[in-house]
Structure 1
Amino acid sequence: MTVTYKELPAIPDLMAEYKGAAKNMVPVVGAKRSATKDPSTGFEVRGVTIDIPHLAAYADATGLRLGNELPYTYPYVISFALVMKVMSTDDFPFNAVGGVHLTNVIEQSRPLTVDDVLHIRTHAENLRRHRKGLLIDMVTEVFVEGEDADTPVWRQTSGFLAKGAKLSSSADATVAARNEDTGSLFERPEIPADPTPTAVWPVDQAGIRIYADASGDKNPIHVSSLGAKAFGFPATIAHGMWSAARILSGLEGLLPAAGRYSVEFAKPIVLPTKVAYFTEKDGDTWKIQLRKASKLETLHAVAEVTPA
């Protein structure tokens, strides 16, 4: 599938994109979805500069270091509105509302910096079956203007699951022939033999509201008890990408400049709680687990960081 990128003058407002996605759920008014092929519409924005106060707020909300180099996960928050915009196009195979973020893989060839001027583009690919519905990959690439226009410095692949969705009977042969995928990056790890965590972090509503403000992601499941319960959660839950960023904060000063950060989300972090953070060095690879501190059997996330 050839992707056509529509250029936008600026990164859209994330909450406006959320509202558009919610509108698509309304009968008659909303777009009709058909899972037949990979979407052909992507979006891109050129001339993106780093807002230092925004970066500082993000670092404060996640425990990451504020410096000249951008954290691995920071481009996610400045580009996520483009992901939502792709999910709102007429040729996207399922509704964005209710989509579950299962995995995230970030690859960077060098750290992006506060002085870089960015060209960001996003598209969707690899629609395939999952035992619970359909999976699709959202791919975001970041180029640095003035450098190689064909090679991204930073690339992210986010796996999203639409529970209950099915391929159309008229799906393209290429899509229909794809094997069912578990959506997993890792085998589920055992509880570490030494149950003493590297760190224990409290997670509460106040902290997640700070992250919501910093990231712009004020999805009701994160900031509203009623909103969370409407989607089947007993209380508000932490953002998956808050977890991803917080995991990296425990490795400050140890992360490779060029590397790959892979994270798979398991059980949501229901607020308030404490999480236990476990790290292990295996050669050049950091292996990380995030578990519920009061019940280590509950795995929230598993991750790896490897040098490029």
Structure 2
Amino acid sequence: MEIVHLEETENHFLFQNISGISVRSFLESFWISKKLIYKLERSKALTVNAETVGFDFVLQSRDVIKISLEEFEKETLIPHEGPLTVIYEDADLLLVNKPPGILVHPDGTGKLSLDNLVAHHYLRKGLKRKARHAYRLDYHASGLLLYPKHFLAAAHINHQLENGMMKKLYYAVVEGKVERGGAIDLRIGRDRHRNNRYRVSKTALTYYRVLQAGEKRSLLEIEIKTGRRHQIRVHFSHLGHPLVGDGYYGKKGERLMLHAFYLSFQHPRTGERKEFVLPLPKEFTIRS
């Protein structure tokens, strides 16, 4: 079955040539969760031939499915105007360069977050979209952060994350001289005795190679195969090489020296492999 994508505007999609399967099965083919399918059905944002139907309705090839993003993509965040460095943008995705010292999402304290800035970016473009980040970066970290622009793209990106199809690489400066690269296979989980800290618990795998090794600090390229919170910071603290600037697991001081510089994934619409690379920040340079 070849799904024909008839039309796209900024606020809806049209599909045709889906035959012999239910609306529910059609949506599941995009890896949309059952919870989200339930919400979509209740929202009445999906119609078949301009009429609302139950999602057990069996589609025929001439049926036209319309998904209205205006009805379903209602933002609840307060938009805030501010600097936003856009690396790439199309109808499905927004990729930004997160600066250090900003939250990715609101924490309830009133602090500015990147999500608030993205919400304003969408508003300025006349888009009714939720600012939904695909993954997180720590407050003090910087680098590439991907925002799927609608729930169809988000489901596809989440599928890639969960199945190891997305590749992310980081630059990190750590304390001490790291002699050689390797792998760290240590479990990580929340520390019940200390707020916002994590310790060895759940399965977590990190690969690293040495780019520069000075006597006091080393520059590493890091790839994580799991997405545990604080994974890189916990793993290198455990090795005795905490990240420079890490106030939780090392010494307080300058900014956290962690930068997400590389991202590769499959585009949710075209299937094309997309690849993005940021340069090494000048403050990450190691003195021999």
> Which category describes the TM-score, using the shorter chain as reference length?
under 0.3
RCO higher in structure (CA 8 A, sep ≥6): 1
Structure whose CA Rg is larger = 2
